[in-house]
Amino acid sequence: MERLVEMQGITKIFPGGVRANDGVDLTIYSGEIHALLGENGSGKSTLMSVLCGLYQPTAGVVLVGGREIRFHSPADAIRAGIGMVHQNFKLVESLSVTENILLSEMKGSFLLDLAAEEKNVAALAEKYGLTVNPRAKIWQLSMGEKQQVEILRTLYQGSKVIILDEPTAVLTPTETEVLFKYLRSLAKDGHGIVFISHKMAEIQALCDRVTVLRSGRVSGGFSQPPFDVSELVRLMVDREISSQLSRSVHAENPAIVLTAESLSVRNDMGAWGVKDLNLKLREGEIYAIAGIAGNGQRELVEALAGLRPTEEGKVLLYGQDVTEMSVKNRLKRGLSYVPGERLGTGLVPSMSVLENLMLKNYKEPQFSDYYLLNYRAIRVQAEESVEHYRVSLASLDQPIRALSGGNQQKLLLAREIATEPRVMVIAYPAQGLDMGATADIHRILLELRNSGTAILILSEDLEEIFKIADRVGVISDGKIQGEFPITEVDVDQIGALMSGGQEEAV
């Protein structure tokens, strides 16, 4: 096989002495799908940013086709045949597929023959079995189709090496299988694919080689499948992660603590985000709402938390109508909300760890006398939270934006749990987190569930749902299309409902 890219001795040191990569070697061959594994903060993103021209390495070289090249910008990497599909798609919703692809075109005249370019895009899509319509507007496409546009853009640019960052995070099982078919087709045509994922089953099913990073260095890997999953986990985290999560058995027919009754909520565009939705959450259970992004999940949880007005229907908390009640008053009655956006909505990036942890309870008597804060008591509780939730940090006084996503999420949960909620609504509790951080988050949620707290989570990860949920409701087009005990869930059925099929709830 041809060596498309060689990264030799890549070291990247950021201001302040943070060594994100330390002597990393990585080779990408034509015709292979190469998995890149590692915890958050292991150096994966930095390494790929070096390969894409976003960062210049402190030491080491990048060879493309056997020739050393120094990238000064992402444009240099694109010209060298290296493209990346980011987890958060970089598309303009109001433009067509072809127009989005042409946005990154770096050559040509001021005159654009759009009809001719649409034919070129259609021919390229047909070559690799992609089914997206070149004339469709981005806002009309499903998440899977939007991902096809991103892949098409890299192919249009002439990329021979394509990097995909957590590509299945927003896809249904059916869309994931379709994506795998495309990637195998690209590899067969001689492309080199870098596949960044935390999902071991996907790596086993798709990839030809695996490289594992830990603390900025290559800790090991496998040169051919099948891969030893337990060894991959050890290489990633250097500690044992239990796959068995403890569940307490609660009494039958526990009390209903949170109810959405014929709930209708508008989205930011004024259209219906949720329409005539019914849902009941019981004490001591984890109820997971599965669905593809954009089907009303955000509107639902914001309405339950009091952040978005309800147009029709009711929200009941322990039987009390709280539909018109403020977020603060819902919190006083035991309802806590953890948003999907950790930084900006859940946490203040520029504030310290200590300050973020005290945002909800600084007025409590043990922490304040209404005029002065008792920083000693605040710091003691913060230290206890950090220890209990296994948060890795240098200091309570460091900005929270300097922490990894997993540690930010654990601190966000720690702050909300400190309010002693009886009901928690959590959007995407482990999205984008590595295996170790995900295991810690799941442990925290099950501890809460076992203590009797009712938990409603949003999740697009069926593996996560099967692992921790007691019941699952599938949302599509603003409605719960089906509801099942987790013991009766069928993956194909869930995938069909996520894509818009309907079934009577049980």
Lowest-pLDDT choice from 53-57, 200-204, 262-266, 496-500 = 496-500
Whether residue 503 has pLDDT greater than 60: no
Same fold, 3-237 and 244-334+421-506: yes
Average pLDDT over residues 318-341: 92
To the nearest whole percent, how much of the chain has pLDDT over 90? 45
Lowest-pLDDT choice from 140-154, 273-287, 356-370, 464-478 = 356-370
Which pLDDT band, with edges at 50, 70 and 90, does 45 fall under?
Answer: confident
Whether residue 499 has pLDDT greater than 70: no
Short-list 167, 188, 7, 154, CA closest to 84: 154
> Which pLDDT score, from 0 to 100, does residue 159 have?
93
Average pLDDT over residues 361-368: 77
Q: Where in the chain are the domains?
A: 3-237, 244-334+421-506, 349-420
For the domain covering 244-334+421-506, report its CATH number. Answer: 3.40.50.300
Q: Encode 184-235 in three state secondary structure.
A: HHHHHCCCEEEEECCCHHHHHHHCCEEEEEECCEEEEEECCCCCCHHHHHHH
Which pLDDT band, with edges at 50, 70 and 90, does 109 fall under?
Answer: low
Higher pLDDT, 236 or 101: 101
Cα distance between residue 207 and residue 221, in whole Å: 12
Which pLDDT band, with edges at 50, 70 and 90, does 506 fall under?
Answer: very low
Cα distance between residue 315 and residue 216, in whole Å: 47
Short-list 471, 470, 474, CA closest to 460: 474
pLDDT digits (tens, 9 = 90+) for 128-174: 888 889 999 998 887 788 888 999 999 999 999 999 988 887 677 77
Tally the residues of the chain. 506
Domain 3-237: state its class: alpha beta
> Which pLDDT score, from 0 to 100, does residue 505 have?
41
